[in-house]
Amino acid sequence: MLAGRDAMLSIREGQMAVFSKIAAQKFEDQMVAHFKRCFPRELDSLGEPKARELIQRGVTRAASYGIRGQRDACKYIDLMIALGSDFDRDPNLSWASQILSDRGLRDPTRRVTRLQEAAIEYLNSGATKDGGRKS
């Protein structure tokens, strides 16, 4: 019979990688379902394999800004669809990169919320993804 420290469950690095991969796959699946509900035209246009690539790129890009929570990553990916997949690097959307690099917005959830608010304001102003105006 094991007692004390010997009884503790030990998870090896390889096992953690498997758990991480499973979690990432589950998130991807949830995001594809989200796209089907919220962005059906975009999903049809992209196709599921490209949508999954977009999700993976979005997770990586969001993480580069300290955005790691699933809900916040989902919002970031939604903005990629609404504004363009490189919205954070688009010179026509400099407000986005300013928000993402704002050191005063340390909390990732607040940063994503501010980014969403600015995007809604921008899109409601009649602007298009390329910085032009809708006719």
Report if residue 118 sits inside a domain.
Answer: yes
Report if residue 7 sits inside a domain.
Answer: no
User: What is the per-residue pLDDT across 87-131, written as a single tens digit (0 to 9) for each?
Assistant: 999 999 999 999 999 989 899 999 999 999 999 999 999 865 555
What angle is formed at CA 128 by the lines to CA 123 and CA 133, rounded to 5 degrees? 100
Report if residue 108 sits inside a domain.
Answer: yes
Report if residue 131 sits inside a domain.
Answer: no
Say which amino acid occupies 122: Y
pLDDT score of 48: 95
- For helices 70-83 and 13-38, what crossing angle results, to 10°? 50
Which pLDDT band holds residue 18 (cuts at 50, 70, 90)?
A: low
Residue 26 has pLDDT above 60, yes or no: yes
Specify the number of domains making up the chain: 1
Domain that holds residue 62: 20-124
pLDDT score of 63: 94
Residue 8 has pLDDT above 70, yes or no: no
Report if residue 34 sits inside a domain.
Answer: yes
The pTM score is 0.80
Dist CA 37 CA 92 (whole Å): 29
User: What is the per-residue pLDDT across 30-70, written as a single tens digit (0 to 9) for each?
Assistant: 999 999 999 999 999 999 999 999 999 999 999 999 999 99
Report if residue 10 sits inside a domain.
Answer: no
- For helices 48-64 and 13-38, what crossing angle results, to 10°? 120
Report if residue 129 sits inside a domain.
Answer: no
State the DSSP string of 56-91: HHHHHHHHHTT--SHHHHHHHHHHHHHH-TTGGG-G
Q: Which residues of 67-88 are buried (b: 16+ CB within 10 A; e: fewer)?
A: beeeebbbbbbbbbbbbbbebb
- Record the tokens describing residue 69, joined without a space: 């929570």
Report if residue 14 sits inside a domain.
Answer: no
